[in-house]
Structure 1
Amino acid sequence: MTSEAGTLRRLAVPVFLPSAVFGIGQGAAIPVVALQARDLGASVGGAGLVVAMLGLGMVLGDLPAGRIVARIGERSAVLLGSAVGAVGTALCLLSWTPVVLGIGVGMYGVASAVWALARQAYIIEAVPVALRARALSTMAGLNRLGTLIGPFLGAGVVYLLGPRGGFLVELVAVVVAGALMAGMPAVGSDRGGARAAQTMRSVLVTHRRVLRTLGVNALIMGASRASRTAVLPLWADHIGLDPTTTSLLFGVGAAVDVALSYPAGRWMDLRGRRVVAVGSLVAFAAAHVALPLTGSVLTLGAVAVLMGVANGLSNGLIMTLGADAAPEDGRAEFLGAFRLCHDAGSLAGPLVLAAVAAVATLGAGSLALAAISALGAAGMARWVPRRPRPDSDERRVRRLGSDERAVRRNPGRS
């Protein structure tokens, strides 16, 4: 336990804290993107397109992010991502047309992809396999905590400056997070031991079986996770709840989500990845089945909590599965491809919901997502190993401090 705490504590300032700061900025800005687009003259549809640029930027940035990290290392990659994110956020802050705003939002999405992959690659290098899921889940959970806090911290600035105030908070957060990440102690490729960069085509071809199986299930997980942010408020509106009540229900679910982050990582490390992956998607399926049966604040609140449990269990899961499956050669490129699977699902989930709801009903859309989640649970049960494979890099992991010898003498103590 002492070794575990010491290892994770050493990541607090260079990795975990920037993740929370980044989440605060994102949480402050996301609610005002559509409002700013409307203020600039965009139609409702146009505002929706501007909002979608964030996800599109992440999808477009995933594969290049893998190449960038492989070529210049984790620390240089986060600094590059910080620069791109700062420029994108500044464009949002100073935007004079919806097009400029959309470009800024897209650049921020690309930067988010670079940041996320660089931090993931850094943790893989800096933390032994026995603590991997805990470290990645902690990072993901703190980011979500920041996203939860961000709207409240940004509310005062938005009150004074209008929608642009949210982007001002985000710009400050980008700069602060970048400065904190610049202090990451060098490990792996940043210490001059970089592996030869692989071509993206060779990585995709060599590992096509993993991407066709585990990658497809990561896509389903992304769809299940993203769709909840659309289906829950839409159903609340459908049964006549006011926006304030809807926000409170969503907040309760988000609190459960954040609270489960570290326990989920610990369960993955101690009990294996499969049980958490399957449990998360089963919970998503159950929540989507139950949603059309709700008709009151109490019953919808129960579903919101169940969705929070499902999402909390999945905190750090996709990053952990990608890290476990990643090869030693071409690791960063593989991680970029694996993240692309998940992020593509995040884009597809709300689209599936909208398509089914358009031709049938919102309840039918929720049931369709339940079926997809159940299919993903079966896939996770089939393709996720009970335990991660032994990591050859464990012999050369650069531990951040004097606890290296303790962990290697007692690999089971965590």
Structure 2
Amino acid sequence: MVYLPTVLFALGEGAVIPLIPVLAAAMGADVAFAALVASALVIGQLCGNLPAGWAVGRIGERFTMVIAGVIAILSAVGMVFAPTLGVLAASVFVLGVCAAAFGLARHAFMTTRVPVAFRARSLSLLGGSFRLGIFIGPFVAAGLLQLFGTESAAIWFFLGCLVVMVILVLFGPDPEKTTPPAPLTPAERSMEDSGEAVSGSIPTVERTGIFQTMWRQRAVLGRLGLAAASLSAVRSARQVVLPLWGLSLGLDASTIALVVGVSGAIDFALFYASGQVMDRFGRLWAAMPAMVLMGAGFLALSFTHELDAAVLWFGMFAAVLGVGNGLSSGILLTLGADVAPKREPAAFLGSWRTLTDAGGAIAPLLVSAITAFSALPFAAAAMGVIGLVGAAGFLRWIPKFIPRSRPEPDGN
């Protein structure tokens, strides 16, 4: 009941995402407009975080997920029967809003329910559930396309996943009722307004609004939040720079897909290792290696474009970036859970996820702009600098906002 709905949503979404530009092109869009339609998903997710925080605070995680699932079903139907490019773009945007609401609801549940002793591993599994769907989904879409010969088959598959997910969440055992809130640690209790232990169900009515919460938490959002946004930016840049780098070297599509696929496989294989490191040694010991690897990887890659063995270096640094990204799995979820108010986390998590999603949304635009005005190696170098600056931010602010003293997991 905790992870299966996430896998279903991510699996269907992963099958649809690669086909959004194809659907737009089939309706007459040029390459630029097809890219704009595809970016509507990210824009919708960015815009949906704050309303999702309000919804989770008012009606709870379960009903937010159900409502998001139902609206996502309507948006998927809109994608299948879209008469114009505008309707298709609007449907993709709404799907992004629903994805934000779904992700935030599950994040808020894990924040309040999972004991801190194994919080990072649990959230790494949550992040791994999303990655599993995004990793397998394109292969499912390829199989359906081969079998039925139409892109709408993947959307119907997504609809099936959404229907099963909504039924499971609506009629299955409610984790909010079967799982008691996790007790606060002394460090967390000192950050609350009172020292009373958490008991009973989570309040579903916000005591403070979204913008009031942002103002109260401006210190952590403006410091640790910006470092987290830099991690999101470097992650997002990896998905853009690697295919562009392969194209600039003159590689064919299959070779580029192989290199990017191997990098993604390494990334997926390491998602649980990050949680182990964070729970056993502290959050900094996962954040720093991940950011240093990705930052240094981008910087080193920027010097290899004109070398004789440029293709070999491309494959090697793609693997390095995959290792760094894999080691960062669950870090943003875990840091957000660590610094969120434990009694009413939804409003804060909406702000936190908006900030990190903004970093991920800006990075491709930055890569595009730098490449247009100079060259792709300069864009890769810029991403490397952002990664190393973010690493310095984590080094400075994680010990300030997240105490190292945490209870050791029992029996591990």
TM-score normalized with structure 2 length: 0.89
Residue aligned with 2:162, SS? helix
Quote the Cα distance in structure 2 between the aligned partners of 1:390 and 1:263. Answer: 19
| Residue 316 (structure 1) aligned to one of 323, 330, 337 | 330
Quote the Cα distance in structure 2 between the aligned partners of 1:119 and 1:71. Answer: 15
- Residue 63 of structure 1 is matched in structure 2 by 50
Distance 1:155 1:191, change over 3 A: farther
| Residue 247 (structure 2) aligned to one of 234, 237, 247 | 237
1:194 aligns with 2:203: yes
| Amino acid corresponding to residue 124 of structure 1 in structure 2 | T
Quote the Cα distance in structure 1 between the aligned partners of 2:265 and 2:400. Answer: 29
1:164 aligns with 2:152: yes
Asked if structure 2 preserves the Cα contact closer than 8 Å seen for 1:89 and 1:171, the reply is yes
User: What 5-or-longer segments of structure 2 have no aligned partner?
Assistant: 182-198
Number of residues paired by the alignment?
385
| Residue 185 (structure 1) aligned to one of 175, 182, 197 | 175
Quote the Cα distance in structure 2 between the aligned partners of 1:217 and 1:128. Answer: 25
Quote the Cα distance in structure 2 between the aligned partners of 1:375 and 1:68. Answer: 34
Quote the Cα distance in structure 2 between the aligned partners of 1:411 and 1:30. Answer: 38
User: What 5-or-longer segments of structure 1 have no aligned partner?
Assistant: 1-13, 395-407
| Residue 358 (structure 1) aligned to one of 351, 365, 372 | 372
Question: Which one is further off, 62-71 or 300-309?
Answer: 300-309
| Amino acid corresponding to residue 142 of structure 1 in structure 2 | S
Asked if structure 1 preserves the Cα contact closer than 8 Å seen for 2:59 and 2:205, the reply is no
Asked if structure 1 preserves the Cα contact closer than 8 Å seen for 2:176 and 2:201, the reply is no
Quote the Cα distance in structure 1 between the aligned partners of 2:127 and 2:223. Answer: 24
Asked if structure 1 preserves the Cα contact closer than 8 Å seen for 2:52 and 2:104, the reply is yes
Report the CA distance between 1:276 and its aligned residue. Answer: 0.9
Quote the Cα distance in structure 2 between the aligned partners of 1:358 and 1:284. Answer: 23
Quote the Cα distance in structure 2 between the aligned partners of 1:289 and 1:107. Answer: 37
Asked if structure 2 preserves the Cα contact closer than 8 Å seen for 1:15 and 1:181, the reply is no
1:36 aligns with 2:36: no
Question: Which one is further off, 144-153 or 357-366?
Answer: 144-153
Superposed CA RMSD: 2.1
Per-residue CA distance 1:277-320 (angstroms, 9 max, x = gap): 11111111111112231554432221111111111111111010
Quote the Cα distance in structure 1 between the aligned partners of 2:270 and 2:313. Answer: 22
Report the CA distance between 1:191 and its aligned residue. Answer: 6.6
- Residue 360 of structure 2 is matched in structure 1 by 346
Quote the Cα distance in structure 2 between the aligned partners of 1:179 and 1:133. Answer: 28
1:216 aligns with 2:226: yes
- Residue 371 of structure 1 is matched in structure 2 by 385
Quote the Cα distance in structure 1 between the aligned partners of 2:8 and 2:328. Answer: 21
Quote the Cα distance in structure 1 between the aligned partners of 2:395 and 2:168. Answer: 39
TM-score normalized with structure 1 length: 0.88
Asked if structure 1 preserves the Cα contact closer than 8 Å seen for 2:60 and 2:204, the reply is no
| Amino acid corresponding to residue 273 of structure 1 in structure 2 | R
- Residue 64 of structure 2 is matched in structure 1 by 77
Quote the Cα distance in structure 1 between the aligned partners of 2:7 and 2:149. Answer: 24
Quote the Cα distance in structure 2 between the aligned partners of 1:150 and 1:333. Answer: 31
Asked if structure 1 preserves the Cα contact closer than 8 Å seen for 2:271 and 2:329, the reply is yes
Report the CA distance between 1:385 and its aligned residue. Answer: 2.4
1:302 aligns with 2:316: yes
Distance 1:191 1:369, change over 3 A: same
